[in-house]
Amino acid sequence: MEALQDMFRLDGRLALVVGAGSGIGAAVAEGLAAFGATVVCADANVDAATATADRLGAESRAVSIDLLDAASIERVAADVGAPDVLVTTPAVNVRKAIVDYADDELDMVVDLNIKGTFRLCRTFGRLMAEAGRGSMIGFSSIRSQTTEPGQGAYAATKAATVMLFKTLAAELGPQGVRANTIAPGVVETPLTAPIKARPDWYGAYADKTILRRWAQPGEMIGAVVYLASDASSYVTGTTVFVDGGWTAADGRFTPPT
């Protein structure tokens, strides 16, 4: 029974959380540490990552990482080595109709959301495969499955993230590495701040969920700890939706019953 009680524990494991400076990444870093992991907090904003690491205590530390720069990722890999858990959260969005998109806007979204994530997984996937262990966790979105006007580039990159991690699962599984994605719904983070500032928009998104509210970043912790731990030892190549029921029910109208 003791082993079953401990299956979510992460004692003795090293977790690298990319995007740990704010939002979901910061919450996830705190959650992994609470379950016993030693957490390296990585972010392009190293001061923000340091603030997160300081909250976690002496076992945690911060590193600077730029997913747009392969050399930066390699430097972090040389410093950290092969983590037992890799979590990556960074993404950017430009809300604009496809026909109005400029090339530089498209490049910005694709370069971070896909190319940056790909670079990170290429480098650390190699290390984790050589170590013969590990759980890779990428953050996708409900936009990998359902979209709306203005989400063309972002939705495409989030769908691509799912397939990237499925392929990682297929390629690295024989070496003992699992790879999965988490698809949040609407979460109150810096990325969604412009929506939160619009009461009508904020309310409409809340009403689209079955739970009739937005998520807080901390509500992503459970899914990450599950995928990071032995509780999910036979889970790979899949997506866990943490979306308040957004993708389960269609429409914003509740018909009479």
- SS3 assignment, position 161: helix
Angstrom CA distances, 122 to 41, 137, 167, stand at 19, 13, 11
- Cα of first residue to Cα of last residue in the chain, in angstroms, is 45
Q: Is 101 a catalytic residue?
A: no
Q: Which of 101, 154, 202, 205 is catalytic?
A: 154
**3-state DSSP helix/strand/coil % of the chain, to nearest 5:** 50, 15, 35
Task: Name residues whose C-beta falls within 8 Å of residue 52's C-beta, 6 or more positions apart in sequence.
Answer: 20, 21, 25, 26, 29, 30, 41, 43, 60, 62
Cα–Cα distance between 10 and 191 in angstroms, integer? 29
- Residues taking part in catalysis: 154
